[in-house]
């Protein structure tokens, strides 16, 4: 096992783990004009049209304070999809979900199970930053839901890893505490795509003692993924 991998596992507070194969991912596809796909339902949009639609969205009040939308990043053919809650200040500046210290920890979490960030697809429930990093309101999440639903439909991931309470509540349509959602296999809507819930990396930075539980969640997600692959 190389030194980099040991460092990632150490960041998760775990001991050495068997190295898994890593493959190079495909970068995001650049967006088309703002007029691409105008008038078409969201469920019919391709990647370029969807990105353009999101970039020019004014469906809720969050667009008034954004620097830019945070569409999503990663492999369009990813088998793993990571879904968080909403952009923070760093994400709003960079236009990419889960960056900064939380992003570094997420990268370590993924690498601990042999997955590079670029191999997954990472998106948020909400594409614009809520003021002062507050939780997105129900109407804001509802305005963005068709975009996320279309991203999931285009990717067709083998497993969805949901990070954080807000994302779990919106994806699973529940208000159950995150602690009771961990360690269970759910399905997204009527797609049959398995969903596993864990803590958001930003929470783990504030509560490092919970990293062990997050590692258990990652192992469970791996198990669910392996089972899905043989179906």
List pLDDT tens digits, range 2-46.
Answer: 565 555 556 666 655 454 443 444 444 444 454 556 779 999 999
User: What local confidence, expressed as pLDDT, does residue 2 receive?
Assistant: 57
Mean pLDDT value across residues 80-92 = 96
Domain CATH number, residue 216: 3.40.470.10
Which residue range is the domain that position 8 belongs to?
A: 3-229
> CA 49 to CA 52: how far, in whole Å?
5
How high is the pLDDT of residue 3?
60
Percent of the residues in the chain that have a pLDDT greater than 90, as a whole number: 81
Closest CA to 60 of 129, 148, 124, 150: 129
Q: Which of 149, 189, 176 is nearest to 42 (CA)?
A: 149
Distance of CA 14 to the CA centre of its chain: 23
Mean pLDDT of the chain, nearest integer: 89
What's the token pair of residue 50?
Answer: 């969807």
Which of the four pLDDT bands, split at 50, 70 and 90, describes residue 71?
very high
pLDDT band at 228, cuts 50/70/90?
confident
Give the whole-angstrom CA distance, residue 216 versus residue 172: 20
- Could you report the per-residue pLDDT of 130-161, keeping only the tens digit for each? 999 899 999 999 999 999 999 999 999 999 99
Total domains in the fold of the chain: 1
**How far is 121 from 27, CA to CA, in rounded Å?**
10
pLDDT score for 21: 43
Please tell me the pTM assigned to this model: 0.84
């Amino acid at each position: 096992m190389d030194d980099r991998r040991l460092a990632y596992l150490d960041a998760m507070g775990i001991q050495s783990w068997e190295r898994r194969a890593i493959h190079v991912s495909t970068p995001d596809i650049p967006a088309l004009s703002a007029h691409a796909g105008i008038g078409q339902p969201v469920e019919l949009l391709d990647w370029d049209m969807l990105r353009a639609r999101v970039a020019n969205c004014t469906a809720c009040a969050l667009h008034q304070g954004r620097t830019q939308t945070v569409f999503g990043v990663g492999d369009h053919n990813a088998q793993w999809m990571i879904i968080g809650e909403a952009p923070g200040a760093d994400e709003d500046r960079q236009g990419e979900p889960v960056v900064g210290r939380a992003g570094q920890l997420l990268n370590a979490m993924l690498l601990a199970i042999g997955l590079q960030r670029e191999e997954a697809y990472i998106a948020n429930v909400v594409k614009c930053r809520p003021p002062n990093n507050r939780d997105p309101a129900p109407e804001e999440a509802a305005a963005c839901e068709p975009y996320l639903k279309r991203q999931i439909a285009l990717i067709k991931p083998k497993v969805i890893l949901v990070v954080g309470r807000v994302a779990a509540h919106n994806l699973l349509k529940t208000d159950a505490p995150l602690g009771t959602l961990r360690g269970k296999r759910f399905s997204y809507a009527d797609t049959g795509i398995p969903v596993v819930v864990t803590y958001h990396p930003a929470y783990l930075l504030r509560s490092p003692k919970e990293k062990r539980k997050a590692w258990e969640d990652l192992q469970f997600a791996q198990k669910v993924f392996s089972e899905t692959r043989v179906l």
